[in-house]
Structure formats: structure tokens, C-alpha cells
């Protein structure tokens, strides 16, 4: 079955765009970004914007808090065939038009890639421009080799682009 990404969550004030690869099963079922309860995204993003309470907020309030802080969300894969949620299972990927979206965001300073698949696909489309491209350790529960503290430290690099 072909799976599709959600629309981007951005505003004219977006200074940092965080890109995943393609929503997993829990997110697709819930129709919201990073819905798997073990995914660390909301904790990591909360650390970046200084809102440790971010995971406790309802979904719309989380998105509003990110947008207010200058962070947008999207994915590098517009649609693909994939059984399950692992990036390794992605087949016949159609890439999202990242450069086109970036061109519509006048305040955009950096793109953070949530995981290796996102970085591989996104860097191919966005390298060579003025944007800072930041590889982040995946927030996915499948990437458990790195501790939360280590991931948090790497994600905090995004703070400099929000000032």
C-alpha cells in the first residue's frame, strides 16, 4: 500500500524546518506527526524551544508552540510503498519538493534532518544553497543505540538558528 506524508506545518516565520522521512504506522493512523508514544520527537523539540512540557500538550497546541518558536515540520518522502514503519522498508519513494517549499519561507535559516534517511534524501535536494543543513539523530524508537541525553545534546544545535 502506498503511504503519503502529511502537509507541511510551516508559517512565514519558520526559521528551522525539521524533516522526517515518512510518517510511521502510528502517525498515519492518528493523522498527526510523531504519534508513536515511544518516539522522542516531542521531548527533543521541547528541549530545543525551552518547553519541556511540550509532550503533555494536546497535538494542536504542540504544533502552535513549534510554529511560535519558528520551527516547521515536514517529510522528505511525499509518498512511497512501505510495509510497517521502518525507513529501510521504503520502496518507490517520491520525494517531497523541498526546495520549492524552502523558497516560500523567507525567514528559513536551517533544515534539520531527523535521521539518516531524511538526511540522505533532503541533502540531495537542498545542498549548495544558503541554508544550514543539520543532521540529527533519529527520534524514532528504532534508533535506540543512542541515549536520550546524547540525542538531546545534538538536537540543541538547532537553537542557534532560532535566535
Does residue 114 have an active-site annotation?
A: no
Q: How far is CA 99 from CA 16, 90, 108, in A?
A: 14, 22, 11
Which of 14, 21, 27, 39 is catalytic? The answer is: 39
Residue 144: the pLDDT is: 77
Q: Which of 99, 101, 109 minimizes the C-alpha distance to 134? A: 109
Residues of the chain with pLDDT under 50: none
Question: pLDDT tens digits, residue range 138-155?
Answer: 999 877 789 999 999 999
**pTM, rounded to two decimals:** 0.96
CA distance 44 to 155: 7
Amino acid at each position: 500500500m502506498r503511504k503519503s506524508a502529511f502537509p507541511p506545518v510551516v508559517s512565514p516565520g519558520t526559521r528551522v524546518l525539521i524533516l522526517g522521512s515518512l510518517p510511521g504506522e502510528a502517525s498515519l493512523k492518528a493523522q498527526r506527526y510523531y504519534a508513536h508514544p515511544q518516539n522522542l520527537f516531542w521531548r527533543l523539540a521541547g528541549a530545543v524551544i525551552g518547553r519541556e512540557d511540550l509532550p503533555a500538550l494536546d497535538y494542536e497546541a504542540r504544533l502552535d508552540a513549534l510554529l511560535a518558536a519558528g520551527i516547521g515540520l515536514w517529510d522528505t518522502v511525499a509518498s512511497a510503498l512501505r510495509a510497517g514503519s521502518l525507513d529501510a522498508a521504503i520502496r518507490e519513494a517520491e520525494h517531497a519538493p523541498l526546495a520549492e517549499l524552502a523558497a516560500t519561507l523567507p525567514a528559513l535559516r536551517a533544515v534539520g534532518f531527523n535521521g539518516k534517511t531524511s538526511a540522505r534524501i533532503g541533502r540531495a535536494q537542498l545542498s549548495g544553497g544558503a541554508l544550514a543543513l543539520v543532521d540529527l539523530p533519529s527520534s524514532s524508537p528504532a534508533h535506540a543505540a543512542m541515549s536520550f541525553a546524547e540525542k538531546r545534546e545534538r538536537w540543541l544545535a538547532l537553537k542557534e538558528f532560532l535566535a
